[in-house]
Amino acid sequence: AQKVTQAQTEISVVEKEDVTLDCVYETRDTTYYLFWYKQPPSGELVFLIRRNSFDEQNEISGRYSWNFQKSTSSFNFTITASQVVDSAVYFCALRTFSGGYNKLIFGAGTRLAVHP
Amino acid sequence: TAGITQAPTSQILAAGRSMTLRCTQDMRHNAMYWYRQDLGLGLRLIHYSNTAGTTGKGEVPDGYSVSRANTDDFPLTLASAVPSQTSVYFCASSDGAGGNQPQHFGDGTRLSIL
């Protein structure tokens, strides 16, 4: 079964705190891709990062960092020194090749509220 | 840059009526997708199109139809709307159906079926 689990439904932090959003995935594919999207209150979906199954290097982009661990099937997302503008719903997604199309399986999302 | 344009932004529709949600992209992406977003369920794929002239069913295709007459447009039609189709609908596109390219999303259409 292909599945993405974001166990944290909502997280509330105070500005400048670090916060980690968890993502656990299930797939039998050996080749797959993982994504994170951000959905701010305005509603649009913004692509943040893509990671393929053969590259377990962690990635840092400014205050954002991602930790990919195949051994635990996790692709966690950390925001350092959070800001109010980080308040959004964050979706983790798994891309598999089943069915012959670019199939993105989304987690249910984690709503992050950053308070001043 | 426009990217993906969806119309209308929102709509209230009586049950039993038909409705077409429009989606246009200007990135010349081959692949396009329609998702619905429901609270607690994330986004679920309704239909997809790998290239102009072809379409396919996603996870939740029942009650919806699509067409892909050209590269830029991918309309989604509800032939006879039901209240369970109340949702936010997102159109997306990607540069290629088989690669690792991310999907880019429109701003969504909020549809309420009464």
CA of A106 to nearest chain B CA: how many angstroms apart? 6
pLDDT at A58 over 90: no
Identify which has the larger pLDDT, A56 or A87.
Answer: A87
pLDDT, tens digit (0-9, with 9 covering 90-100), for A14-56: 999 999 999 999 998 888 999 999 999 999 999 999 888 888 8
Whether B7 and chain A come into contact, CB under 8 Å, resolves to no
Measured in angstroms, the CA of B29 and the nearest CA of chain A are apart by: 13
Rounded mean pLDDT of A2-8?
93
Residue B98 pLDDT exceeds 80: no
Residue A61, pLDDT score: 85
On chain A, the residues whose CB falls within 8 A of the CB of B54 are none
Range B48-75 average pLDDT:
95
- First CA to last CA distance, chain A: 41
Q: Which residues of B touch A4 (CB under 8 A)?
A: 42
pLDDT tens-digit series, residues B5-18: 999 999 999 999 99
Q: Cα(first)–Cα(last) distance of chain B, in Å? A: 35
CB contact (8 A) between residue A91 and residue B42: yes
Burial class (CB in 10 A: 0-12, 13-18, 19+), B88: middle
CA distance B15 to chain A (A): 25
What value does the mean pLDDT take over residues A79-104?
Answer: 87
Residue B88 has pLDDT above 90, yes or no: yes
Band (pLDDT 50/70/90 cuts) for residue B97 is low
